[in-house]
Amino acid sequence: MDGLNTYRAGPDEHGHFGIYGGRYVAETLMPLVLEVEAAYRQAKADPTFQAEIDRYFTHYVGRPSPLYFAERLSRHLAGARLYFKREDLNHTGAHKINNCIGQALLACRMGKKRLIAETGAGQHGVATATVAALFGIPCTVYMGAVDIARQAPNVFRMKMLGAEVRPVSAGSATLKDAMNEALRDWVANVDSTYYLIGSVAGPHPYPLMVRDFQSIIGREVRAQLQAMEGRGPGTMVACVGGGSNAIGLFHEFLDDRDVRLIGVEAAGEGLNTERHAATLNRGRPGVLHGSRSYLLQDKAGQIIDAHSISAGLDYPGVGPEHSWLKDSGRVEYVAVTDNDALAAFRMCTRLEGIIPALESSHALAHAARIAGGLPKDHLLVLCLSGRGDKDLDTVGHIDGVTP
C-alpha cells in the first residue's frame, strides 16, 4: 500500500498536485487567475450555482448520459462485460459541454462580456460556441490551421453558432499553438474577457474547476452500474489528451482501490517513433501553459510537436493531476497507435452502430486489447467521450469511402 489516505484531496490551496500544477503565468494574468479562483470558490459554495448547472445538465445537455451495455462487442471480444458511458449523446456530441456550461455560468457571474477558447478537435470550440450562443456572449475560438483542415465540420458548426474562429499557423498549427494564442488574447483583453479552457490543463484553478464539472461522468456511472449490475466497475478506461474526460470518469473512483483505472494516450505512428502524443509515457516534467506537468520536450527544454490522427489528443502536455496520478501509481497510462485506434473505430461502428470519435477510439482499442483476458463477469467501463461525425472525412480518406 502507498500510505495515502485518499487520492481525492488535491489540489492544495495553491493548485498543486504534489509537484505538479500551480500557476505559471505572466504577472499581467496572475491577478486574473486569482480572480477566477476567488469567483469559482464563491460559486462552488453557492447552492444556486450548482442548481443552475444541474438544470442545464438535465434539460439542455441531456444528462444523465446513458450507460450502455455493448453486448455484441462484449461477445465479439469474448471476455469482460463492456459498458459505454455515452458522452457522445450529450448535446454537441461530446463531454466538453459539461465543462462549458459550468464555466460559462461562472463567466456570467463574473460579469465578463466575451469568451475565448482554444480547441483541437473542435469539440470544445463547438461546446464553447454553443454556450456563448445560449448565454448571448460574443466568442472567439483559436484553432490550429492543421486542425481546421481536418475537422472542417466542427469549424462550420462554430461559425453557424456565431463564433469567430481564428486560425493559428504558428508552430505545429495544432492545439498547443491555439492555446498560446488564446493566452495572448487573454493578456491583451483582461478586463472584458473570460478564458474558457477546455481541458484539465492551464493554471490553477482550471484543472480543479474542469475536473469538478466533468466528474459528473463518474458519479453517474457509479449510480447507473449499481442499478444495472448491483455492483461497481472492475476496470475503467478513458482516452487522455489533456485528460478531461478521463479525470471526469476516474475521479469518483480514485479511492476505490479495487477499481483498475487506465488512461490511454495517443501513440501516433508508434511510441518508438518521433510522431506520437504520449506525454505521460514518453515525456518528462516541465512547465507549459500555466502548470507543471509531464511534457513532450527535447533535451534543451523546447516543446516538441505532438502527433496523433486524433486532433483532440494531439497535445504535447497533459493535465497536472494526471501527472500526479501517474507518479503515485494510482492510474496506469498506456498508449494506442493511430492504426489501432482506426481498427477500433471500424469495429465499434460495424458491431454496435455507434460511430465513435477518434479520441474515444483510442480508449476502445485498449479496452478491446484487455477485454478478452478478463473474466466473463468483469465490468469494464469505457468513456465514449465523443461521437465521430467530425472524423468521417479523415477515416473515409484512409478507407477509401466517399459520400
Partner 1 sequence: MTATSRIATRFAALRRERRRGLVAFVTAGDPDPQASLAIVKGLPAAGADVIELGMPFSDPMADGPAIQASSLRAIRSGATLASTLALVATFRETDATTPIVLMGYYNPIYGYGVEAFVRDAAKAGADGLIIVDLPPEESEELRGPAANVGIDLIVLVAPTTGPARLPWVLKKASGFVYYVAVTGITGTKSAAAADVGRAVETLRRETKLPIAVGFGIRTAAQAEAVASHADAAVVGSALVGKIAENLDAAGKATPGVVPAVLGLVRELADGASRAKVA
Active-site hit among 244, 310, 360, 385: 385
The answer to whether 385 is a known catalytic residue is yes
Active-site hit among 85, 96, 112, 176: 96
In whole angstroms, the minimum distance from the beta carbon of 303 to partner 1 comes to 5
Residue 122 φ/ψ, nearest 5 degrees: 95, -5
In whole angstroms, the minimum distance from the beta carbon of 326 to partner 1 comes to 18
Q: Does 85 bind partner 1 (CB under 8 A)?
A: no
Active-site hit among 65, 74, 87, 118: 118
With beta carbons less than 8 A apart as the criterion, state whether 245 and 239 touch: yes
In whole angstroms, the minimum distance from the beta carbon of 27 to partner 1 comes to 4
Write the binding mask 272 to 301 for partner 1: x where contact by CB under 8 A, - elsewhere: ------------xxxxxxx-x--x-x-xxx
Taking CA atoms, 17 is separated from 10, 22, 103, 118, 324, in Å, by 6, 8, 22, 24, 6
Write the binding mask 181 to 210 for partner 1: x where contact by CB under 8 A, - elsewhere: --xx--xxxxx-------------------
Nearest to 61 by CA among 22, 83, 93: 93
CA distance 109 to 352: 42
Which is closer to partner 1, CB of 99 or CB of 293? 293
List all residues 6 or more positions away from 306 whose beta carbon is below 8 Å from its beta carbon: 172, 174, 176, 266, 268, 276, 277, 279, 296, 313, 314, 315, 316
Nearest to 357 by CA among 52, 61, 87, 71: 87
Which is closer to partner 1, CB of 183 or CB of 246? 183
CA distance 91 to 312: 18
List all residues 6 or more positions away from 123 whose beta carbon is below 8 Å from its beta carbon: 92, 93, 94, 96, 154, 312, 357, 386, 390
Cell of 171: 508552430
Cell of 324: 500526479
In whole angstroms, the minimum distance from the beta carbon of 175 to partner 1 comes to 12
Cell of 213: 464539472
Query: Which of 170, 392, 398, 401 touches partner 1 (CB under 8 A)?
Result: 170
In whole angstroms, the minimum distance from the beta carbon of 307 to partner 1 comes to 16
Cα-only R_g, the chain: 19
CA distance 186 to 31: 12
Cell of 178: 491555439
Q: Does 227 bind partner 1 (CB under 8 A)?
A: no
Cell of 389: 461525425
Q: Does 69 bind partner 1 (CB under 8 A)?
A: no
Which is closer to partner 1, CB of 201 or CB of 259? 201
Write the binding mask 12 to 31 for partner 1: x where contact by CB under 8 A, - elsewhere: --x-------xxxxxxxxxx
Q: Which range of residues in 92-100, 176-184, 256-264, 381-389 is near partner 1 by CB under 8 A?
A: 176-184
Residue 371 φ/ψ, nearest 5 degrees: -60, -45
Cell of 211: 475536473
Q: Which range of residues in 2-10, 65-73, 177-185, 307-315 is near partner 1 by CB under 8 A?
A: 177-185
Which is closer to partner 1, CB of 319 or CB of 388? 319
Which is closer to partner 1, CB of 25 or CB of 106? 25
Q: Does 6 bind partner 1 (CB under 8 A)?
A: no
Q: What number of chain residues touch partner 1 (CB under 8 A)?
A: 38
With beta carbons less than 8 A apart as the criterion, state whether 100 and 130 touch: yes
Which is closer to partner 1, CB of 299 or CB of 376? 299
Residues near partner 1 (CB under 8 A) are 14, 22-32, 170-171, 176, 180, 183-184, 187-191, 284-290, 292, 295, 297, 299-303
Active-site residue set: 96, 118, 385
